């Protein structure tokens, strides 16, 4: 699912017994391969491989695994992915200890810990085929939650900084956000960027997403 030139969403739908869940890892092309943002649930690597194949990619194309935060639906599949690729792992300084197994997870069941190769902070920029990809620290959902902005594409990849439904952006999911006030401030930080489309890990792509209006609706 191509969002704009060189940027893709890879919808993954899981049957969880009593319900289905669809999540939206994403990918940004670089000269060295694909930056994959998040790896999905554990035990589902073939589902991820099939989603990549829909857009002409394979697991071997993944050069960098960028983990937006520590939750199991984002990191759970990472160990299996790394068993089948030579990808480097990027994560935040705030969530790396939990991802590596040195701290308890804030919310999730324990998944296989993995090593983080590169820890990033706010403002770090990756060179991609879609232009610079800027890291934005957006804590609240987890201590080290990250989002990314691609200014030239006017695109926000929000991870869990906000969710979406058929009515558009809804802000952070309070049920799964331990520090809601902080998460709302993080959404305000994202609103300062000049973006139009927003990809939410839960809810998918919102083409004309008014992040500022969503933020303002949560501060009244």
Q: Domain spans of the chain?
A: 2-218
Tens-place pLDDT, residues 145-203? 999 999 999 999 999 999 999 999 999 999 999 999 999 999 999 999 999 999 999 99
Tell me, what's the pLDDT at 204? Answer: 98
- Predicted pLDDT at 164: 97
**Assigned superfamily of 2-218:** Ribonuclease Z/Hydroxyacylglutathione hydrolase-like (3.60.15.10)
Residues whose CB is less than 8 angstroms from the CB of residue 18 and which lie 6 or more positions away in sequence, other chains included: none
> Rounded to a whole number, what is the largest CA-CA distance in the chain?
48
- Structure-token pair, residue 89: 């792992």
| pLDDT-above-70 percentage for the chain | 100
Residues 65 and 81: beta-carbon distance below 8 Å? yes
Per-residue pLDDT tens for 91-108? Answer: 999 999 999 999 999 998
Could you tell me the pLDDT band of residue 16, with boundaries at 50, 70 and 90?
confident
Which tokens is 162 given? Answer: 């906000």
Q: Cα dihedral sign for 129, 74, 69, 96?
A: negative
Beta-carbon count within 10 A of 13 CB: 10
The per-residue pLDDT for 220 is 75
What is the separation of C-alpha 76 from the centre of its chain, rounded to a whole number of angstroms? 13
CA distance 8 to 129: 12
């Amino acid at each position: 699912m191509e969002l704009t030139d060189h940027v893709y969403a890879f919808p993954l739908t899981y049957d969880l017994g009593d319900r289905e869940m669809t999540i939206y890892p994403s990918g940004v092309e670089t000269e060295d391969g694909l930056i994959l943002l998040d790896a999905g649930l554990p035990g589902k690597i073939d589902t991820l491989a099939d989603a990549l194949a829909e857009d002409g990619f394979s697991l071997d194309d993944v050069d960098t695994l960028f983990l937006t935060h520590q939750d199991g639906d984002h990191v759970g599949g990472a160990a299996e992915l790394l068993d089948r690729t030579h990808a480097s792992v990027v994560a935040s300084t705030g969530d790396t200890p939990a991802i590596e197994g040195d701290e308890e997870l804030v919310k999730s069941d324990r998944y296989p810990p993995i090593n983080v190769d590169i820890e990033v902070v706010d403002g770090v920029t990756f060179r991609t085929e879609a232009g610079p990809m800027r890291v934005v620290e957006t804590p609240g959902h987890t201590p080290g939650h990250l989002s990314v902005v691609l200014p030239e594409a006017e695109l926000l990849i929000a991870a869990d900084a906000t969710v979406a439904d058929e009515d558009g952006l809804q802000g952070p999911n309070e049920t799964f956000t331990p520090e809601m006030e902080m998460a709302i401030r993080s959404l305000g930080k994202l609103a300062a960027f000049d973006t139009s489309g927003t990809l939410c890990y839960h809810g998918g792509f919102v083409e004309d997403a008014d992040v500022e209006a969503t933020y303002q609706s949560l501060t009244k």
